[in-house]
Every structure is written in structure tokens, then in C-alpha cells.
Structure 1
Amino acid sequence: MDGASAGDGGSASGGGRWYTGMSSDNIKGLVLAISSSLFIGASFIIKKKGLKKAASSSGGVRAGVGGYSYLYEPLWWVGMITMVVGEVANFVAYAFAPAILVTPLGALSIIISAVLAHVMLREKLHIFGILGCVLCVVGSTTIVLHAPQERQIESVTEVWDLATEPAFMCYVAVVLAIVALLVFKFVPLYGQTHVMVYIGVCSLVGSISVMSVKALGIALKLTFSGTNQLIYPQTWAFTMVVISCIITQMNYLNKALDTFNTAVVSPIYYTMFTSLTILASVIMFKDWDRQNPTQIVTEMCGFVTIFSGTFLLHKTKDMADGLSNSSSFRLPTISLARSFKQTDEYSEGVPLRSSDSFRSLH
């Protein structure tokens, strides 16, 4: 590293230092994560145009009032395929880069959606929305430049050993205990009135699912490179954990979105999910063991910056939609006609990545 810096001279102080400071795997993961955000962010706009086109066709019933005419609209399917491509890229990104790098970059899809909606759908982007975009970019750049190097793993059994170490097993036990308490005690009592109940279940389970997704991604990466990992039972154990966690997340995230204002759910979910995912990754993969305190604090500042930008984007979208009830946790009881109108707005609006895509689950 020193020799390269000396040889490069002045160039080492510019882009060369950034490049040499990241491993090739981190760069691959970064490119995949950004590509995922581009595809998923664009998919929201394509699907919305498909929904509008389907609703405007003769006899078309809008999705917000229970119609399914969009299933016959090719443009909507293009959007779905685009989203699937983005989710695949996101899945593969976890195989190359640490979760502390990949997960926060999900906020970039919000920027893509907001900008494309402004350009293609003529949806007004508030000045504070632009500031939110800038904050997301600044926060993402901060995390990228200070992210830890990916741990070199030669077999899925190594990941299993990391997952079964006492520290991570304690984390899993605590998560399962809290989830059980929330599901059996607090959901029946407070699920319909306190947003943190549903979001807590989603975020806690999500942190486990991301670790399993990363383990499965590593297994597939090694398999495709010539070292078959499908023969190990650990690979299939991680697969079962992924499936179980995703089903649980989808169930309770849908409950949260159906009960509370999206403008409230999405920022809280993004913050809790990303925070717990980073915590789980730090415990299991020991990401921070390879970093100094300055890098760690800088990463946390980057995350807070992204959250601030995400919050601004969502609040300004809420302002643009004219939803006066954005400060309330519960959607108020309104007339049937207005209910249909608001439901349609939510179904076709540009949603946050965390509420409508697989990365929101990971």
C-alpha cells in the first residue's frame, strides 16, 4: 500500500487513495448495491405509469379500489421485472460487501424514485425534498468511504461457525425473546395503536434475515466459483431461516402499512431495520474489529445523515400529497369515497424502498 502510494505521487491523494482503500469485493458490492437502487427506484415509476395506463383503459378499475386490470398491462410487468433485477443485484451485493455498506445504500432508491417522479410523472419535488436527496448522497458517500473490508470466507461452514459463536447466539436469543413478547403480548393489546409494535417485529426479524441472506449469498458465490457449498447442511439451514424470516417480515410489515400512515412507518422502519442489521453484522462478522474509532464514528454520522435525508424526503412527499394527517400515527376514519381516494394515492405513490421491496426486508 505504501509503495503504491509513493509510486503514484500526487494521484494517491485523489481518486487513487479511494480505490486502494477498498477491496475488490467491496467495490463489486458497492456497484451491485447502487445498481440495485437504480433498478428498484426506477421500477416504482414504471409500475406507477403501468397502473395509470391500466386504470385509464376502458373498463379498468384502479388498484387502489381493488382492481387487478394492471395485471394485463405490459408496462406494469416491465416494472416488476425491473424490481426483480434490482432485488437480485441487492442479494448478490451481500455476498461481496459487508452489510454495514450495503444496507444503508437502500436509501438511494428513494432519490431515484423522487427524481424520476419529478421528471417523468410531473410530481413536484419540494425544495426540502432536494435537500433530503443531497443528505442521502452525502451520508451514503460517507459510509462508502469508511466501510470495513469484507471478511474473507472460504466455506459456508465458516459462516456457520461465526453464527454459532456465543455472542451472536446471545443476540439471536434476545431477538427471539423480544419478538415472542411482542407477538404474543403486545400485538393483541397495542398492535392497532402503537406503530413500534409491528415495526419492532419486522426490524428484529429483519436483522436475522440479512445475516442469513449474506450467508446464503456467500455460499452461492463460492459454489459458482467452483467450490460447491450446496453439499453442506448449513447452506440449507440458512435457506430455511431466510424463508421463515421473510414470511414473518412481510406479514407484520403489511399489518403496519395497513394500519398506520406510510409517512410514519417507512422512516421508523428504515432506521430500526438498518440499525439492528448493522448491530447484528458487527456482532456476527465483527466488522468493527477491523476499524478504528474514527471510522466507526464517521460511519454512524453517515447513517444519521441518510436517515435525516430519508425523513425529509418522506415528509415533503407527504406535504406535496396534501396529507394533513402526517403527524398522526393512525389514519383517521373518513368517508368511503375519500378512503378510496387515499388508498389509491398510496398504491400509486412513489413508495419508500423499505416498504415495497425485498431490500426493505434486508
Structure 2
Amino acid sequence: MVLGTVALVGGMSLVVAFSKHETSLYSSEDLQSLYGELAYIVFLAFAGVTLIASRVLFNVYGARRQQGLENLPYHNLVYPISYCYFSAMIGTQQLLMAKCISNLLRLTGDGDNQFTHWFTYFCIAVWLLSAIYWVYRMDLGLKLFKGPFIIPVLQVHFTLLAIVSGGIYFKEFDGQPPGHICGELMPLTPAPYAP
């Protein structure tokens, strides 16, 4: 328990130390145009393919379990990890949208009303739907798996995927040396799989 806490604090310290500390304000039009950036389009395509793959893995491994058949190899790892990835990849959109909404509210507070743009309402709707989805998937995860295992694994996936999707969408990785990006992401990757 102590070793796990030390690893968690140390890993999060590395994430903070290597992350970018400046922020930019984006208007509704700016945020909308970020969806057209090549890096984010590639990320969305990759996310789509891996979402489908993780869902297929979860269904295949789960079906064998429900039918009482012998578990496939690595069942104890693949089954929960595929569930967590699928859940977190969609659930992290609430953080991306929350940052978008925060930008829009700051601009509106400064006198540039962003509520005249449809994209503001799109962000609010996606934020609300993805937040509901995330809470539902966490609740379902507690029914499918043991809580002391699944909650940390879900949270690490959620945090890692939020950093990656936000970093690509908001161009937070632009101009950072590869070592800084690795320093930001690597402390999170082994955490859920530690004994």
C-alpha cells in the first residue's frame, strides 16, 4: 500500500513536471477549427479503430465467460482492460468539452458572447452525454469487476486518455521535446497493472 502510494505520488509529480504550463483562450470558431487539424483527425481515426477493437475483444472474452466455456488466454487482463479502454476513451470527452466550455465562458465573461454560436451548445451537449456515459460505465464496472481493481484501472485509463486527447486537440504537445511528452505519459502507463 505504501509502495503504491509512493509510486502514485511520484508518477503524478512527473506528469506535472513535464506538462506544458501555458494556456491559450480559444473562441468557438477556434475550437471548431481544431477538429479539422490533421493530428486530431489521425487521433480520432486511431481512437475509432481501437474502440471497435476493444469492444470486440470485450464481447468475445465476455461471451465465452457467460457461456461457461474455458477462458481465452490472458482473460484476466484483456477482459477488464478492454472494458476500461472503451469506457475511458469515450468518457474522457467530458474533460475535453469541459475545457472548451471553460474557454467559451471566459471569453463570454470578457464581453465576447460565445452563446451566439452553435458550437458552444454542441460542447455542452457532448460534455453532458459523455459525463453521464462515464458515470454509467464506472457503475457497470463495479458490477462486473472487483472495485479495488477496476476503479484504479478505470481512473488511470481516464487520466491517460484525457491527457492524450486534450494534448493533441489543444496542441499542447506542439513544440515539446519527445522526452517531455514521454515524461508526461509514461508514469501513468504501468500503474494499473502493478501487483
Greater CA radius of gyration, 1 or 2? 1
Distance apart, 1:186 and its partner CA: 5.0
Alignment of 1:217-228 (within 5 A): 217-228=102-113
Asked if 1:211 is matched to 2:96, the reply is: yes
Aligned residue for 1:145?
Answer: 17
Distance apart, 1:189 and its partner CA: 4.2
Contact kept, 8 Å, 1:175 with 1:204, in 2: the verdict is yes
1:260 to 145, 148, 155: 145
Q: From the superposition, tell whether residues 268 and 161 of structure 1 become closer, same or farther in structure 2 (CA, over 3 Å).
A: same
Task: Give 4+ residue runs of structure 1 displaced > 6 Å after superposition.
Answer: none
Could you report, residue by residue, the CA deviation over 1:230-271 in whole angstroms, capped at 9, with x for unpaired residues? Answer: 111111111111122223222322222101111221232223
Aligned residue for 1:130?
Answer: 2
Asked if 1:270 is matched to 2:151, the reply is: no
CA distance in structure 1 between the partners assigned to 2:35 and 2:164 by the alignment: 14
Alignment of 1:316-335 (within 5 A): none
Contact kept, 8 Å, 2:87 with 2:137, in 1: the verdict is yes
Q: AA paired with 2:94?
A: S
Q: Structure 1: where are the runs of 5+ without partners? A: 1-128, 316-362
Say which SS state the counterpart of residue 236 (structure 1) adopts.
helix
Alignment of 1:6-25 (within 5 A): none
Aligned residue for 1:198?
Answer: 83
CA distance in structure 2 between the partners assigned to 1:138 and 1:221 by the alignment: 33
Q: AA paired with 2:90?
A: V
Contact kept, 8 Å, 2:14 with 2:183, in 1: the verdict is yes
Q: Structure 2: where are the runs of 5+ without partners? A: 66-78
2:164 to 279, 282, 289: 279
Say which SS state the counterpart of residue 47 (structure 2) adopts.
helix
CA distance in structure 2 between the partners assigned to 1:143 and 1:197 by the alignment: 24
Identity among equivalent positions (%) equals: 23
The structure, 1 or 2, with the larger RCO (C-alpha pairs under 8 Å, 6+ apart) is 2
CA distance in structure 1 between the partners assigned to 2:180 and 2:47 by the alignment: 27
Q: From the superposition, tell whether residues 163 and 196 of structure 1 become closer, same or farther in structure 2 (CA, over 3 Å).
A: same
CA distance in structure 2 between the partners assigned to 1:297 and 1:170 by the alignment: 19
What's the C-alpha RMSD, in Å, of the aligned pairs? 2.8
Distance apart, 1:282 and its partner CA: 2.7
CA distance in structure 2 between the partners assigned to 1:253 and 1:268 by the alignment: 11
CA distance in structure 1 between the partners assigned to 2:137 and 2:13 by the alignment: 32
Could you report, residue by residue, the CA deviation over 1:4-40 in whole angstroms, capped at 9, with x for unpaired residues? Answer: xxxxxxxxxxxxxxxxxxxxxxxxxxxxxxxxxxxxx
Say which SS state the counterpart of residue 150 (structure 1) adopts.
coil
Could you report, residue by residue, the CA deviation over 1:136-184 in whole angstroms, capped at 9, with x for unpaired residues? Answer: 333323322332133422412212111232331332244345445655x
